[in-house]
Chain A
């Protein structure tokens, strides 16, 4: 179970106050932590528990579903132990920024740029925070739930008329 997961045991010892929730679903462990402790937790997982590969960084928009609108997701993989761990932390719309994980892994650079580009979450101490997929002058953040599928200023697609 999730409580016996090697990372969860150690995290509960060291960061007891910052863990909000531990969930296991289909064999995958997700730990939700407080935003302030993100870098400390990530660095600890990398150095002490051999989660040396940052597989992915992404975000989820819970517009109208949760109190804090965004959820940042960090997917870690341990090459020596061959297991995964997912770290999540909530980011509110009012304070839409978070520490950059580039200080722990260089690969976070482009992944965070993509989150900034598509969700509008800014990363503090990021070396090169620019849009990456959309053009530099683009307005709005396409993966937000309130951004229309067809793009701005266009009628919604109503299906074929014939």
Chain B
């Protein structure tokens, strides 16, 4: 009589399908997973601790490096929290550009998700197409901020600088071509029998379980819960835009795939509406205590130079109090909770990372599945380890 025993298999942290340095310790009965123990923290940089020792302005570059596939949205979440504490109003043009960049970021993040998710499951062609489009978004990033990923573009009170004149045409051309590109991806996947076999019925999590696990973002909407902070608790002027929020029904990987694809089409609509609203005007609030002076003043007048020096060296004091601001990141709800003691550095800054909370559900979603299905579940959760480990 042959006996079988369970096997422990180590997956990661260096594994192409774990999207970074995620380590999973699997307990296997044959090829069926009976237990998953995630091991995270390989990328821990102590962002929350670091931010307690930096001025509010100096914290901003740390936020790019959380979810490095959605840097502008991280900047937006942080800046909105600081602006809430300072209680300052942002000019219309700055808000509109913020929304354009936030939605381009959503497209970028979803493109990378689609590319890697499909590649993990074995559909390589989509990867090449999606990265072709992502490159245009990276070029747009570079055009306005000078960097492809670590944008550091928003400022408390507005933007670091206005966008160059060619920005609008570049985005319009990109958005005009995007629906046809999305059709192309869908043509490769949506009715593809292999894709359906791998995704339909995979990684099911019910709406109740999803809420209990604190899942947010497309993963929650895929389970049929209609929650989107852009509509429910609007920020940065999202209340002025019309867009649909897709929700899934079957709570599986395929529905989450459909939700994200519809979200990409909706992001294009939001960007089009925002481009139509874009009017000339200032991009920084008239708030000299907080905002840097224009560069020509810094270079040409002693007052401007002193003003710049004062903010750069001392920072700006922020009223005492505590606020939380959540934004609908491509991965879920990204929140910043800042406790201020009235000085120019945060007393405590907490980052509520969507990927961290979503990853917790992995055991629920992949228990009883095969190893190959676990790869699909990691892909559908769309986690970024830079944000999980902070």
A55's partner among B87, B326, B390 (CB-CB below 8 A) is B326
CB of B321 within 8 A of CB of A25, answer: yes
List of B residues within 8 angstroms of A34 by Cβ: none
B48 on interface, CB distance cutoff 8 Å = yes
B214's partner among A84, A105, A133 (CB-CB below 8 A) is A105
List of B residues within 8 angstroms of A25 by Cβ: 321-323
CB of A55 within 8 A of CB of B233, answer: no
B227 on interface, CB distance cutoff 8 Å = yes
CB of B360 within 8 A of CB of A110, answer: yes
Interface size class of B (residues with CB under 8 A): 35 or more
Whose C-beta in chain B lies nearest to the C-beta of A84?
Answer: B324
Contacts of A68-102 to chain B: CB distance below 8 A: 73, 75, 79, 82, 84, 86
Residues 108-150 of chain A: 1 if any B CB is under 8 Å from the residue's CB, otherwise 0? Answer: 0111001000100000000000011111000000110001010
A26's partner among B52, B321, B352 (CB-CB below 8 A) is B321
**A54 with B322: in contact, given A109-B360, A133-B44, A149-B49 (CB under 8 Å)?**
no
CB of A58 within 8 A of CB of B337, answer: yes
**A55 with B352: in contact, given A60-B339, A86-B324, A133-B44 (CB under 8 Å)?**
yes
List of B residues within 8 angstroms of A40 by Cβ: none
Tell me the complex Cα distance, A106–B361, Å. Answer: 9
Instruction: Give the secondary structure class of B's interface.
Output: mixed
Tell me the complex Cα distance, A58–B84, Å. Answer: 20
A129 CB to nearest chain B CB (Å): 14
Residue total for A at the interface (Cβ-Cβ under 8 A): 36
B296 on interface, CB distance cutoff 8 Å = no
CB of B212 within 8 A of CB of A111, answer: no
Residues 209-240 of chain B: 1 if any A CB is under 8 Å from the residue's CB, otherwise 0? Answer: 10111101000000001010000110000000
A6 CB to nearest chain B CB (Å): 16
CB of B53 within 8 A of CB of A149, answer: yes
A134's partner among B44, B322, B350 (CB-CB below 8 A) is B44
CB of A56 within 8 A of CB of B48, answer: no
CB of A143 within 8 A of CB of B337, answer: no
List of B residues within 8 angstroms of A143 by Cβ: 48-49
B375 on interface, CB distance cutoff 8 Å = no
CB of B41 within 8 A of CB of A53, answer: no
List of A residues within 8 angstroms of B87 by Cβ: 26
B317 CB to nearest chain A CB (Å): 16
B86 CB to nearest chain A CB (Å): 10
Tell me the complex Cα distance, A147–B350, Å. Answer: 17
Binding site for B on A (CB under 8 A): 25-26, 28, 30, 52-56, 58, 60-61, 65, 73, 75, 79, 82, 84, 86, 105-107, 109-111, 114, 118, 131-135, 142-143, 147, 149
Q: List 17 A-B contacts (CB under 8 A).
A: A25-B322, A26-B85, A26-B323, A30-B322, A53-B216, A55-B326, A55-B352, A56-B350, A58-B352, A61-B348, A75-B337, A79-B225, A106-B360, A110-B357, A133-B44, A134-B44, A142-B46
